[in-house]
């Protein structure tokens, strides 16, 4: 049946540009993934800014699409030529500024940069609304404060997803979820906050409405594939032109869609290179917290978001080293097998890690107030340096900053969560990341079968939703059409692990001074 769907073009494509991988996922009319392709890439630190080269953006997109196309050919013996609709997602926030001739004015500045502290602080105070350093408006205002020459030439400001969508369709628009990571959104109008736009213009003489993308809701049409877009996506020319696009969204929104977490009192944690957790709110927060973002679901509901720049990168480096040791003994073992063995070994570790603590700070962390970081592992002389304790320490560390932020929501704001779902690489090993996240939040955590592959699948679902918006809300579409038969594995952490994580996080906070000292100490690699 899938072959017939592909031949008739009754398929939907989601493309997501993540931190370490660009992935394309094709789904059928039953909303099942039927083919995929990917491309691995890494950010670079150039002149003090984390960035990706835009040429590599297109190299990666083409490679991921070609890989998907080959997957279709191998599985179904058919050439992919037509697609009903396409959606593009990417890392949220960041700064892509273009002049009136569509020239990039400065290299792409990603969410990972923490050089916008002054801008974020001043805008948060002026707006009385949390403006994180990652947000596009903080990048712009910091560039203004720094008197950067390029600011006067900005004609269009967008995100990575917005840029790719614009290049493929000629449409300068963006989904409301992604837009809410550029500039504050008015909950009633589902558009940029008019009063704050006026405040920013008085402050800077810049009318940001003139340079920001148009805001669209899930299900609204956002243009069609252009001739230029077709050549960029599929240089072979097999793909037909004039394919519909849904609004481009950020990886936060696609993660919520992929886990059916867009209803009030539902939440999701996405854990990979970075980690973020979101809860759909019933009402505004009582106070402004610089640690908490307020963003939107793709359909425009208010979300509290806790974001940490660092999650599994340092952990992955340790796992890679352990695999290298195994290879010295001629052990032929897959990456997934190494991860499973090491992650599961942590379950035998001490609930509070036996006096150990680690900081996987490859970059800075705004929640703990670091502009830059250095990975650090610390233990007391009395600690038992076992593999189980070591692995548990690093897995706890991957969740530590997220917990600090969520404690504000759960303990100070008394936000209620009916269901918290986990997706991303941290949850691929059954029962490990899920147990520790539940311990960190003292909340039941559920994981779906698609836990390891959320974002591009969520984007494909948003592309499919274009056909159903008139009859179903996004929440109804996900509940009644997509996830009605989905298997979900739920668990509540053991009490000893909840208490152990609380003990660990107390030690983690005390040890932040050690991490600050490490950052101040410079040495060449």
285 part of a folded domain: no
75 part of a folded domain: yes
Is residue 451 scored above 60 in pLDDT? no
305 part of a folded domain: no
Which tokens belong to 86?
């396409």
Quote the domain boundaries for residue 40.
Answer: 2-259+454-482
Residues 31 and 65 in one domain: yes
Q: Answer for the pair 61, 220: CB distance below 8 angstroms, yes or no.
A: no
Residues 224 and 93 in one domain: yes
Higher pLDDT, 377 or 419: 377
Q: Hey, how many other C-beta atoms are within 10 angstroms of the C-beta on 371?
A: 15
Q: State the pLDDT at residue 524.
A: 66
Tokens 């886990």 sit on residue: 259
224 half-sphere exposure, CB direction, 13 A CA radius: 9
Q: What percent of the chain has pLDDT over 70?
A: 99
Which tokens belong to 482?
């997509």
Is residue 452 scored above 80 in pLDDT? no
Report the chain's C-alpha Rg in angstroms.
22
Which tokens belong to 429?
């090993």
232 part of a folded domain: yes
Is residue 211 scored above 80 in pLDDT? yes
Task: Give the residue from 48, 111, 442 showing the smallest Cα distance to 272.
Answer: 111
Residue 77 CA to residue 86 CA, distance in Å, equals 22
Task: Give the residue from 70, 78, 76, 68 showing the smallest Cα distance to 25.
Answer: 68
> Tens of pLDDT along 212-267?
999 999 999 999 999 999 999 999 999 998 899 999 999 889 988 988 889 999 99
Residues 424 and 368 in one domain: yes
Backbone angles phi, psi at 431, to 5 degrees: 80, 0
Three-state DSSP at 16 gives strand
Residues 245 and 327 in one domain: no
Q: State the pLDDT at residue 209.
A: 95
- CB proximity list for 42: less than 8 A, separation 6 or greater: 20
What is the tally of structural domains in the chain? 2
- Burial of 474-510, coded b for 16+ CB within 10 Å and e otherwise, reads bbebbeebbbeeeeeeeeebeeebbebbbebbeebee
Residues 399 and 474 in one domain: no
Residues 346 and 404 in one domain: yes
Residues 346 and 470 in one domain: no
280 part of a folded domain: no
Pick from 34-38, 129-133, 159-163, 486-490: least confident: 486-490
Is residue 525 scored above 70 in pLDDT? no
Question: Model confidence at 40, in pLDDT bands (50, 70, 90)?
Answer: very high
Residues 403 and 477 in one domain: no
77 part of a folded domain: yes
Task: Give the residue from 203, 401, 175 showing the smallest Cα distance to 295.
Answer: 175
Mean predicted confidence (pLDDT) in 61-76: 97
Q: State the pLDDT at residue 453.
A: 56
Higher pLDDT, 448 or 282: 282
Question: Model confidence at 425, in pLDDT bands (50, 70, 90)?
Answer: confident
H-state helical runs in 346-451:
387-407, 433-441
264 part of a folded domain: no
Task: Give the residue from 395, 413, 425, 409 showing the smallest Cα distance to 493.
Answer: 395
Higher pLDDT, 428 or 343: 343
CATH number at residue 501: 3.30.420.40
Residues 119 and 78 in one domain: yes
- CB proximity list for 513: less than 8 A, separation 6 or greater: none
Question: Model confidence at 284, in pLDDT bands (50, 70, 90)?
Answer: confident
165 part of a folded domain: yes
Residues 249 and 365 in one domain: no
Q: What percent of the chain has pLDDT over 90?
A: 83
Residues 470 and 362 in one domain: no
Q: State the pLDDT at residue 121.
A: 93
Mean pLDDT over each residue of the chain, to the nearest integer: 94
Residue 78 CA to residue 240 CA, distance in Å, equals 15
Mean predicted confidence (pLDDT) in 501-511: 98
Q: Answer for the pair 103, 59: CB distance below 8 angstroms, yes or no.
A: no
Q: State the pLDDT at residue 437.
A: 97
Pick from 54-58, 312-316, 437-441, 451-455: least confident: 451-455
Residue 126 CA to residue 425 CA, distance in Å, equals 38
Question: Model confidence at 44, in pLDDT bands (50, 70, 90)?
Answer: very high
Q: State the pLDDT at residue 272.
A: 83
Backbone angles phi, psi at 336, to 5 degrees: -60, -40
> Tens of pLDDT along 305-321?
998 999 999 999 999 99
Question: Model confidence at 484, in pLDDT bands (50, 70, 90)?
Answer: confident
Task: Give the residue from 153, 145, 140 showing the smallest Cα distance to 208.
Answer: 140
Residues 80 and 152 in one domain: yes
């Amino acid at each position: 049946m899938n072959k017939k769907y592909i031949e008739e073009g009754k398929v939907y494509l989601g493309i997501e540009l993540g931190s370490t991988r660009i992935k394309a996922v094709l789904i059928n009319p039953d909303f099942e993934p039927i083919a995929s392709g990917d491309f691995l890439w890494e950010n670079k630190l150039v002149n003090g800014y984390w960035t990706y080269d835009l040429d590599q953006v297109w190299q990666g997109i083409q490679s991921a699409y070609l890989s998907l196309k080959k997957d279709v050919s191998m599985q179904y013996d058919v050439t992919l030529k037509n697609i009903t609709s396409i959606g593009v997602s990417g890392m949220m926030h960041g700064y892509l500024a273009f002049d009136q001739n569509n020239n990039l004015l400065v290299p792409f500045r990603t969410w990972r940069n923490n050089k916008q502290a002054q801008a974020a602080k001043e805008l948060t105070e002026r707006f009385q609304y949390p403006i994180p350093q990652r947000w596009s408006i903080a990048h712009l205002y910091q560039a203004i404060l720094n008197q950067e020459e390029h600011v006067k030439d900005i004609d269009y400001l967008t995100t990575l997803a917005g840029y790719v969508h614009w290049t493929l369709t000629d449409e300068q628009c963006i989904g409301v979820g992604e837009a809410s990571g550029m500039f504050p959104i008015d909950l009633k109008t589902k558009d940029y906050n008019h009063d704050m736009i006026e405040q920013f213009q008085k402050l800077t003489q810049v009318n940001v409405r003139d340079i920001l993308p148009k805001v669209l809701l899930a299900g609204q049409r956002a243009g069609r594939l252009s001739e230029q877009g077709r050549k960029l996506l599929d240089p072979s020319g097999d793909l037909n032109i004039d394919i519909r696009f849904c609004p481009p969204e950020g990886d936060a929104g696609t993660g919520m869609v992929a886990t059916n977490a867009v209803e009030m009192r539902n939440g999701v944690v996405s854990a990979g290179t970075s980690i973020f957790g979101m809860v759909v709110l019933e009402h505004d927060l009582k106070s402004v917290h610089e640690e908490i973002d307020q963003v939107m679901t793709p359909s425009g509901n208010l979300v509290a978001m806790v974001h940490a720049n660092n999650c599994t990168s340092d952990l992955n480096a340790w796992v890679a080293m352990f695999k290298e040791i195994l290879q010295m003994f001629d052990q032929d073992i897959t990456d997934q097998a190494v991860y499973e063995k090491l992650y599961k070994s942590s379950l035998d570790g001490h609930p509070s890690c036996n006096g150990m603590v680690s900081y996987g700070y490859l970059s800075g962390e705004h929640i703990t107030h670091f502009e830059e970081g250095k990975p650090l592992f610390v233990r007391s002389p009395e600690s038992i340096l076992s593999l189980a304790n070591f692995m548990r320490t690093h897995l706890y560390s991957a969740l530590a900053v997220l917990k600090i932020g969520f404690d504000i929501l759960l303990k100070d704001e008394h936000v209620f969560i009916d269901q918290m779902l986990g997706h991303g690489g941290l949850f691929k090993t059954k029962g490990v990341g899920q147990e520790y996240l539940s311990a960190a939040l003292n909340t039941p955590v559920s994981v779906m079968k698609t836990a390891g592959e959320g974002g591009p699948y969520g984007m494909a679902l948003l592309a499919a939703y274009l056909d159903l918006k008139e009859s179903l809300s996004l929440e109804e579409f996900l509940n009644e059409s997509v996830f009605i038969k989905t298997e979900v594995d739920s668990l509540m952490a053991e009490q000893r692990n909840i208490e152990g994580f609380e003990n660990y996080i107390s030690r983690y906070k005390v040890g932040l001074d050690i991490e600050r000292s490490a950052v101040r100490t410079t040495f060449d690699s």
